[in-house]
Structure 1
Amino acid sequence: MSTYATRALVSVLCELAADADPDSVSVRLAATPAGELEPTDGPLSGIDAATPVLSDFYFPDAGASLSGVFGMDLAAPAGQTAGRFVSHPDCDPSVSVTDDLHATVLVAVPPWTPADVRAYDRNGTRLDLVLVDAEAEQPDTPV
């Protein structure tokens, strides 16, 4: 079984992990259907248009003050996080019991490159991670 993520997203997540090292980081991920992505290097082939592709993330510190007051995470819209990215500075690439589990969990280890990222399902079963050269459409902003 495979999970899909944009190459740009995984690269940015690796940078976040490197910046946080020696501390770990945990980031919520959002998915976009493959048919709604803009290819960055040729057409997307072999991916069904309805296939969810991890494409965006919510900053780890967003909503921290709300969480402190209300005791729950209010920074991400309910039901809109398709996965979780976690970094393991201890170099253990497996999912641990202390990780926040989602349907899909991406785990990164040093030296923090996309090749050092592994994908798992919520049960800790390893998935193939397929990097997609595409990005989510950006909303038009007034000039």
Structure 2
Amino acid sequence: MAVFVTQGLLDVLIEFAADREPGEANVPLAATPAGDLAGDDDRLPDIDDDTPVITHFYLPEAGGSVSSVFGVDLGTPSGSAQARFISHPTGPLGVSKEDDLAGVVLVATPPWDADTVAAFDRSGATVELVTLDAEPPVERIE
């Protein structure tokens, strides 16, 4: 099994983790079907159009006051976060018992670069992380 993520999103998540240090980052992530992506990555034609590619994140502070009072996350639309990004400023590069889990968890550790980000499934097993040079479609609010 492989997990696909866009290079642009991975860059933003790494920067976010570095900015949060010494605290941890904990960000819900959403995916776009590979068939909806645009870009020059030579691997795109070889990926099934329905394969999810992690392309978006939700701001972790959105809906924070309601979450604090009622314990309900209103910052992430229901069913929209298929994955989660977590940083561990002091390690380990893995899923811990304290982490919020999702179907896929991306974990980053210092020195905050692509080489120190790994993907895991819900049980904590390592999953191949594939970075794609692709962009999701532009979304417009009408």
Q: TM-score range by the shorter chain?
A: over 0.9
Q: Tell me if structure 1 keeps the 8 A contact 2:41–2:132.
A: no
Structure-2-length-normalised TM-score: 0.94
Equivalent residues in 2 for 1:1-143, closer than 5 Å: 1-41=1-41, 44-140=44-140
The runs of 4+ residues in structure 1 deviating greater than 6 Å are none
RMSD, aligned α-carbons: 1.5
Q: How far off is 1:25 after superposition?
A: 0.8
Q: Which runs of 5+ in 1 are unaligned?
A: none
* Alpha-carbon distance, 1:46 to partner: 1.9
Residue 45 of structure 1 aligns to a residue whose secondary structure is helix
Distance 1:121 1:41 in 2: 25
More strand by share: 1
SS in 2 for 1:4: strand
Aligned length: 142
Give 1:40 deviation, angstroms: 4.7
CA contact (8 A) 2:66 2:74 kept: yes
Question: Percent identity between the aligned chains?
Answer: 47
Q: Aligned AA for 1:123? A: S
Amino acid in structure 2 at the alignment position of 1:44? L
